[in-house]
Amino acid sequence: MELRRDAALEIVRDRASKTHGLTLAQVKRIYLEDIVSELNAKLGSELPVPLERAFRKHSRTWLRPDGGFWYVEDWGSPRRWVLVAETKRQGTRSAREREDLPRQSRGNAIERLGKNMRGLDMLFLTERISPFVCFGEGCDFEAESSIIDRVATLNGFFPLNEVHVDKVYLSSGEVLRPASLFFRDPPWTPKEMCHVLAQVVDRSIEYFRSQYGY
């Protein structure tokens, strides 16, 4: 799955250069300390208390989605994140049945996904988009598996297998932050991944150009 994901990301990088005239660059991780510092700098006067990390032994805790954080290199600082990508494979039923082993417990990948999504909510707190894409595959995500509703719950019950980039602002003042979560049993092809990733990058670039005048 990782090879297919990386192949799709390289195509999206090349496409951004040809379509938008922009160079996309990737970082593998973002340190929580940096997210907290940036939010305190932007929102300090509006917060009842400063935001902080709980772990104090060292500052090397991070968010690290396996597809990385992608930004437009040409735009300089601050970095504008146009894509965050992740993949999850869960379900080894067939292999375990062949070995006459009991079915593996479900949900571990989803719990980790939930942690990352909460961190990304904070990373994009001051923006009007959430350019996060996660592809999941494996028998745990088949339509007959109730675990797929855990994924739907993480996404605020917005439809799965659809692109969602823009946050939704309700008249009540509530803000909904759906992500692009693509989950099923069969493997995703690089072409399918590329189609989704390119849409997210396109919308993100459009948003940042409109919002900040790039």
Task: Please list, in sequence order, all residues whose beta carbon lies within 8 angstroms of the beta carbon of residue 44, skipping any fewer than 6 positions away.
Answer: 50
| pLDDT recorded at residue 96 | 45
**CA angle, corner 65, sides to 64 and 68, nearest 5?**
90
Residue type at position 93 = R
54-83 pLDDT per residue, tens: 877 777 888 999 999 999 999 999 999 999
Q: Locate all alpha helices (DSSP H) within 87-213, ordered by sequence.
A: 93-98, 108-123, 148-154, 190-212
The structural domains of the chain, ordered by start, are 2-29+64-173+183-212 (3.40.580.10)
103-122 pLDDT per residue, tens: 555 557 888 899 999 999 99
